């Protein structure tokens, strides 16, 4: 739902104020609308690729996910360390694939590459994000990529300072058998130097491999899902009150709606950052996009800190305090979205809203695909 459509939910509160239970707070029609918004849609892991190929692609993706040889070999950017990072260094399988090394002031803190200057995004539920986003450029904090090209536009060139040549060498030297079994054409991994068309074909294969892997990493089934599915007791009365605030007076739902609790649009929340960051405007050049960032998913938010595009906050409660005071006074570009203004709430309300956000933590991704407990402990 876009625009201010959710503002309709604020109305009943004006009359039934401070009622802790949710069941009396919304009309049956409003409940139906809320349930429909948050329900997880059917999503597609293989997208028409038949088995066993679909699984084999994902397996190669899993292997390459921790392959540091895919990162800069120093030839392209000489000051960078040699083969210093893999995807797994910034997307930790044990923590919903966020960067657990980063702190609020130094994001992407593997120490090796700080190429994006942004906080790493979790790599779970991308198959669902794909369904919700459609063709929209909803990947990365600035929407610099759509589904198909996120690895090619973001991960390899920006986060890993890699090139087609580096990729070719890594595959040839370390993953030759698996690569050739899947793609047949040996020339793509053997020919050095290769021409631009060969480079593009090789990188497209690599993107397909990562895509099929990432689509396996699903983390839903939170207590919130049980609650929205009809089990009201899945949340405590305080958490339900937190949801009520989220969906009504605090206006969070205006931007954090849908199956991933994001509208996948770009907004200026007005958050201070060390380097004034143009956000979405750096991609589009549109003045209206100045300082705007993608609304991130709130699923698993209790476990994916630090928060915001530059990791400005360490704790979920810090983010709630940010909204409660109506954002930062300065230190950001663009014009703050008018829906972010000081929220009139008690300290207990603030805690309830935070506690509600913590109910969004779902299952770990299947350990066969690298979630917590993977490796020998995986059944």
Question: Which residue lies nearer to ligand HEC by CB, 195 or 330?
Answer: 330
Question: Which residue lies nearer to ligand HEC by CB, 217 or 376?
Answer: 217
Question: Which residue lies nearer to ligand HEC by CB, 279 or 376?
Answer: 279
Asked if 126 and 133 count as a contact pair (C-beta separation under 8 A), the reply is no
Residue in 270, 262, 236, 279 with CA at minimum distance from that of residue 132: 262
Q: How far is the CB of 379 from ligand HEC (least distance, A)?
A: 26
Q: How far is the CB of 293 from ligand HEC (least distance, A)?
A: 4
Q: How far is the CB of 68 from ligand HEC (least distance, A)?
A: 9
Residue 134 Rama label (left phi>0; alpha psi -120 to 50; beta): left
Q: How far is the CB of 145 from ligand HEC (least distance, A)?
A: 7
The total of other beta-carbon atoms located within 10 Å of residue 37's CB is 17
Q: Which residues contact 345 (CB under 8 A, 6 or more apart)?
A: 245, 249, 250, 324, 353
How far is it, in rounded angstroms, from Cα 182 to Cα 193? 22
Question: Which residue lies nearer to ligand HEC by CB, 26 or 322?
Answer: 322
Q: How far is the CB of 322 from ligand HEC (least distance, A)?
A: 8
Question: Which residue lies nearer to ligand HEC by CB, 235 or 250?
Answer: 250
Residue in 96, 91, 64 with CA at minimum distance from that of residue 162: 64
Question: Which residue lies nearer to ligand HEC by CB, 118 or 198?
Answer: 118
Question: Which residue lies nearer to ligand HEC by CB, 28 or 159?
Answer: 159
Residue 184 Rama label (left phi>0; alpha psi -120 to 50; beta): left
Q: How far is the CB of 378 from ligand HEC (least distance, A)?
A: 21
Reading the block at residue 161, the tokens are 């300072």
How far from 296 is each of 22, 121, 201, 205, 308, CA to CA, in Å? 25, 8, 31, 28, 8
Question: Which residue lies nearer to ligand HEC by CB, 33 or 305?
Answer: 305
241 phi/psi in degrees, rounded to 5: -65, -40
How far is it, in rounded angstroms, from Cα 87 to Cα 121? 12
Contacts with ligand HEC by CB under 6 A lie at 70, 85, 87, 89-91, 108, 110, 113, 116, 118, 120-121, 123, 126, 129, 139-142, 150-151, 154-156, 159-160, 210, 214, 250-252, 254-256, 267, 269, 271, 293, 295-296, 298, 301, 304, 307-309, 316, 319-320, 323, 337, 339-340, 353, 357
Q: How far is the CB of 294 from ligand HEC (least distance, A)?
A: 6
Q: Which residues contact 40 (CB under 8 A, 6 or more apart)?
A: 128, 220, 225, 259
Reading the block at residue 377, the tokens are 């402990």
Q: How far is the CB of 206 from ligand HEC (least distance, A)?
A: 8
Residue in 326, 379, 377, 316 with CA at minimum distance from that of residue 351: 316
């Amino acid at each position: 739902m876009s625009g201010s459509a959710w503002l309709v939910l604020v109305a009943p509160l004006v009359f039934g104020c401070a009622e802790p239970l949710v069941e009396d707070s919304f009309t049956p029609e409003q409940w139906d609308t809320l349930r429909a918004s948050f329900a997880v849609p059917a999503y597609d892991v293989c997208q028409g690729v038949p088995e066993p190929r679909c699984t084999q692609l994902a397996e190669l993706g899993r292997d390459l996910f921790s392959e540091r040889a895919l990162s800069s070999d120093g030839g392209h950017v000489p000051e960078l360390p040699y083969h210093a990072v893999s995807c797994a260094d910034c997307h930790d399988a044990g923590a919903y694939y966020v960067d657990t090394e980063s702190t609020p002031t130094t994001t992407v803190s593997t120490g090796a590459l700080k190429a994006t200057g942004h906080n790493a995004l979790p790599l779970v539920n991308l198959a669902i994000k794909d369904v919700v986003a459609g063709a929209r450029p909803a990947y990365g904090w600035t929407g610099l990529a759509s589904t198909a090209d996120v690895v090619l536009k973001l991960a390899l060139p920006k986060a890993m300072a890699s090139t087609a040549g580096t990729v070719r060498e890594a595959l040839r030297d370390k993953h030759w058998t698996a690569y050739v079994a899947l793609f047949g054409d040996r020339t793509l991994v053997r020919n050095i130097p290769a021409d631009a068309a060969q480079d593009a074909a090789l990188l497209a294969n690599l993107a397909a491999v990562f895509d099929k892997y990432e689509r396996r990493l699903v983390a839903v089934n939170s207590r919130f899902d049980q609650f929205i599915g009809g089990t009201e007791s899945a949340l405590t009365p305080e958490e339900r009150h937190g949801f009520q605030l989220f969906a009504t007076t605090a206006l969070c739902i205006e931007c954090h709606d849908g199956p991933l609790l994001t509208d996948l649009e770009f907004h200026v929340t007005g958050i201070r950052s060390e380097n004034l960051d143009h956000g979405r405007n750096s991609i589009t050049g549109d003045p209206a996009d100045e300082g705007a960032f993608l609304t991130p998913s709130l699923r698993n938010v209790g476990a994916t800190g630090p928060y915001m595009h530059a990791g400005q906050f360490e704790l979920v409660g810090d983010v709630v305090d940010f909204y409660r005071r109506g954002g930062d006074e300065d230190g950001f570009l663009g014009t703050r979205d008018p829906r972010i203004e000081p929220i009139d709430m008690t300290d207990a309300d603030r805690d309830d809203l935070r506690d509600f956000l913590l109910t969004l933590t779902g299952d770990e991704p299947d350990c066969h695909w690298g979630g917590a407990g993977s490796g020998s402990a995986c059944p």
